[in-house]
Amino acid sequence: MLNRKPVNPDDKTPVLFGANDFDALTESARNAPRRRTNRDFHDSPSHPAQRFLNAMEPDSYVRPHRHTQALKQETFVVLRGAFGLVLFDDTGGVTRTAVLRAGGERVGAHLPSGVFHALVALEPGSVFFEVKAGPYDARTDKEWGSWAPAEGGPDANTYLERLRSLFA
């Protein structure tokens, strides 16, 4: 079973993971208020390489955002299920969409810093692996799209459905 605790830097035991671990992570996501959860492979937010699995359910809203720091490029690969990637211009206009599917034609994406984006889980039990430069500081990690509703806001579910409709 894949432990959700951050990796201990003094532990030299390799971490192996697979379908059973994705099941456990998915179960955790289904029970989480935000309907997503991650399993870090880095030992702390200050680590220079942020690496993690992220399980996300279709009703999880990821507010469009961008990483503005030059080295905060983001790469993710879908390991199970499917996600819709939505890219936006600075005013919230959709500039591109792509379906990323485990074993599909497109399985992942690399996003340069400064690109507004959001992911939408298209199937229950979807899991991706993400890598980006650290350290992670919640106060400076993201710039939210001011044109998109805040997570948990009254219009968030309607906006999520609009994003999901791009992949219908």
Q: How many other C-beta atoms can be found within 10 angstroms of the C-beta atom of residue 35?
A: 16
The verdict on residue 34 lying in a domain is yes
The verdict on residue 115 lying in a domain is yes
Residue type at 77 in one-letter notation: V
Identify the domain containing residue 35 by its residue range: 19-165
Beta bridge partners of 126: 56
The verdict on residue 7 lying in a domain is no
Task: Report pTM.
Answer: 0.92
The verdict on residue 1 lying in a domain is no
The verdict on residue 13 lying in a domain is no
Model pLDDT, residue 2: 52
Model pLDDT, residue 9: 67
Number of domains in the chain: 1
The verdict on residue 9 lying in a domain is no
**DSSP states along 64-80:** -EE--STT--EEEEEEE
Residue with tokens 């039990």: 125
Joined tokens for residue 44: 């702390």
Query: In this structure, what are the phi and psi dihedrals at residue 160, rounded to the nearest 5 degrees?
Result: -60, -45
The per-residue pLDDT for range 59-110, each reduced to its tens digit, is 999 999 999 998 899 999 999 999 999 999 999 999 999 999 999 999 999 9
The verdict on residue 11 lying in a domain is no
What CATH number is given to the structural domain containing 23?
A: 2.60.120.10
Model pLDDT, residue 8: 66
The per-residue pLDDT for range 8-48, each reduced to its tens digit, is 667 778 889 999 999 999 999 999 999 999 999 988 889 99
Which stretch of DSSP H or E encloses residue 56?
Answer: strand 49-56
The verdict on residue 150 lying in a domain is yes
By three-state DSSP, how is residue 166 classified?
A: coil
Scored b (16 or more CB within 10 A) or e, 122-148 reads: beebbbbbbbbbbebeeeebeeebeeb
